[in-house]
Structure 1
Amino acid sequence: MARGHGRILTSIWEDPDFLALDEKEQRLYLFLISQPNLNHAGLLDLTLRRWSRKARGLTSAELEKLLQRLEETHFVVMDDDTEELLIRSFVRNDGVWRMPKVMGAMVSGALEISSPRLQAALLAEMDRIPLDELNDEPTKYKGQDGPSIRQQVVIHISTLRKAFGTPDPDPSRRGSATPSKAPSGTPSDTPSQPPAEGGPKGSTRGRGRAPHAHSPAPAPAPTPAPAPNPVVVEVGEKTSGSSEPTPSSPDGDAPIDIDGFALTDSMRRWALDTFGPGLDIDYETAQFVDHFRAQCVRRPNWPAEWQKWIRRSAKYASERATRPQLRSVAGTGSRADTHTADDYTNSKVEDLFAS
């Protein structure tokens, strides 16, 4: 569900880091935290061409420069490969960490992150949540003691750490770690900065082709023909840059087959250790492969895309398990009169997992 408002702390106008930004950089930050599709983890899709249409005369190239400045000053973290942007201190500044139920929604939103760089940045933010400020008195539920607010938040953070494991913020191994300055306690305060990543990379969402320290270059895929030039359009038009079908090989293989994607033992262990035996990994992997064969699109990192699929599958399975059953008024008890909430949702695989 889209948000109806964005929360801006009045203290931001006393933050020396924010005041050091120029007018356009400040406006862009306020624009980002007021986006309707911003989730509780502070995650946004990186859609520069769409954003450039929100002000007369604004261009994708100018947005590119402004975002680079926000990243240099640690307000945001970006990944061109996965086309994701994280508002780094959003969980703390929006008060998400104070409310256990909202923290649960934050974990669900965080599981949407594909970028190891963004995962590492969000985990660093979890270390900076002032847990000692949370109430540690047991909560009451039906006359019995339950976990305190602090304990509930700690459980959510532990769940996130277990799901992410130890993300490598520099998959290409070409970055160099840069020590960060001491945190200032303001919206722009700086955690341990993830290693910079090398290599220029053009974006499929209309970003400029300036070199980026945050853009790892993926290993070249053995494709027989170059992919078509990316085209980004508004909703309702025919194509978009991130989902344009990639020409298949002469024998009809899809990109996922050409690139040689396969389920490895380490991937299977990761899924088992993270989500337990309740998730059918072979079934989900078969669904994943069938989906991308049908879509005939290429992803820069198939294992990361697979992990995203598995996280979403686990998320939907958990949501289905906690939804109450809905019964018809007649309520005869037959299958025709008894439905789960899933029967009223659009559960088509292509819709759930389409990028």
Structure 2
Amino acid sequence: MAREKASINIDIWGDADFRDLTDPAQSLYFKLMSHPKLDYCGVVEFHPGRLAALTREATSDHIMIAAQELSEKFWCVFDQSTDEVLVRGFLRHDGVLLQPRLAVSAAKAYAAVASNKIRAVIVHEVKRFKRENPDLAAWEKPQMKTLLKQDAVDVRETVTDMDWSFVTAYGERYGQRLGQTSVNATTGPTTSTSTSTATSPSSDEDAAAESVSYPHRSPRALHGSDEASMGAIA
């Protein structure tokens, strides 16, 4: 059974963590949440070029920068090796697990997910939901029992490993200018290339530009260990 609508709780605007996201990150989140191919686990193919095509002025670079932010702040889990992304809040807020038949659909969708990283996070989210709602009929379904036996990983224990090819002109990281730099992103079959024109840079400036990187920030440093801080997605 195909999904016909997306459920987005309006109280998401009361969540401090969501309000702390940049506009591009919020936009990408809503694109993914309402994507026609999003399955009953909250997983959809991740192709920056195709997502950029949904907005006139967007580029693959814009999508990649927004994806990096959503990943580092745990709103989504990306796996570029399989071109998949998980929207974490979907299972908890779309009502899928409250309805036994849809829960079975979610278990079947889980079986089709290629990424082991995403699969483990899905199991963790389902187990967490079960602890909070132990009496749901969904837990008696054989497909759900099988899912719950699989390996589980807390999203905070995953690593943000977005693929940045190199740094070029006009880039921003979460809206913060990186001087004369921007990001060229490559994921699977999608490639976006930008070029840079600098005005008489010194050799020191050249060296500094070449050293720009995107180090992963510690999950604990971002949000701490308190799951309650996740607000609308927790």
CA contact (8 A) 1:45 1:85 kept: yes
8 Å Cα contact 1:7/1:94 also seen in 2: yes
* 1:47-80 deviation digits (Å, cap 9, x = unpaired): 1111111111100001100011011111100011
Q: Which residue of 2 aligns with 1:68?
A: 68
* Mapped pair 1:157 → 2:144: yes
- In 1, Cα distance between the equivalents of 2:49 and 2:6? 22
Q: Which has the higher strand share?
A: 2
1:97 deviation in Å?
Answer: 1.2
Pair 1:38 & 2:38 matched: yes
- CA gap 1:114/1:150 in 2 versus in 1, 3 angstroms: closer
Give the aligned partner of residue 79 of structure 1. Answer: 79
Matched, 1:97 2:97: yes
Using the TM superposition, give the Cα deviation of residue 150 of structure 1 relative to its aligned residue in structure 2, in angstroms: 5.4
Contact persistence 2:80–2:162 (CA under 8 A): no
Q: What is the DSSP-based 3-state SS (H/G/I as helix, E as strand, rest coil) of the residue aligned with 2:190? A: coil
Letter in 2 for 1:33: M
1:64-117 per-residue CA deviation (whole Å, 9 max, x = no partner) reads: 000110111111000111111011121111111111110100011111111111
Distance 1:211 1:45, change over 3 A: farther
Shift of 1:203: 1.7
Q: Which amino acid aligns with 1:48?
A: P
Matches within 5 A, 1:248-263: none
Secondary structure of the residue that 1:129 maps to in structure 2?
Answer: helix
SS, match of residue 78 in structure 2:
strand
CA distance in structure 2 between the aligned counterparts of 1:32 and 1:198, rounded to whole angstroms: 19
Deviation of 1:27 after TM superposition, in Å, equals 1.8
Supply the distance in 2 between the matched residues of 1:5 and 1:88 (Cα, whole angstroms). 17
Match status 1:24 vs 2:24: yes
CA offset digits 1:326-349 (Å, max 9, x no partner): xxxxxxxxxxxxxxxxxxxxxxxx
Is residue 166 from structure 1 mapped to residue 147 from structure 2 by the alignment? no
- From the two aligned structures, give the one with the greater helix fraction: 2
Give 5+ residue unaligned stretches, structure 2.
Answer: 165-185, 194-212, 217-234
> What percent of counterpart residues are identical?
26
CA pair 150-200 structure 1, distance change in 2 beyond 3 A? closer
Q: Which has the higher contact order (CA 8 A, sep 6+)?
A: 2
- From the superposition, tell whether residues 62 and 133 of structure 1 become closer, same or farther in structure 2 (CA, over 3 Å): same
The structure-2 alpha-carbon separation of the partners of 1:49 and 1:101, relative to structure 1 and needing over 3 Å to count, comes to same
Q: Distance in 2 between matches of 1:72 and 1:212?
A: 11
**Distance in 2 between the 1:66 and 1:16 partners?**
18
SS at match of 1:104: helix
Counterpart check, 1:204 vs 2:188: yes
Partners of 1:67 and 1:45 lie apart in 2 by 13
* 1:77/1:118 contact within 8 Å kept: yes
Per-residue CA deviation, residues 205-263 of structure 1 (Å, 9 max, x unaligned), is 325698686xxxxxxxxxxxxxxxxxxxxxxxxxxxxxxxxxxxxxxxxxxxxxxxxxx
Q: 1:151 Cα deviation (Å)?
A: 4.2
CA gap of 1:72–1:208, structure 2 versus 1, over 3 A, is farther
Instruction: Select the residue among 156, 160, 167 that pairs with 1:193.
Output: 156
The two structures have a TM-score, normalised by structure 2, of: 0.66
Unaligned runs of 5+ in 1: 137-147, 170-190, 214-355
Mapped partners of 1:125, 1:83: distance in 2: 21
| Post-superposition offset of 1:2 | 4.4
CA, structure 1 residues 88+199, in 2 after alignment: closer, same or farther (shift >3 Å)?
closer
Aligned residues: 176
Q: Is the 8 A contact 2:139 2:145 kept in 1?
A: no
**Aligned 1:145-294 pairs, distance under 5 A:** 149=137, 151-152=139-140, 155-162=142-149, 165-166=150-151, 191-196=154-159, 200=163, 202-206=186-190
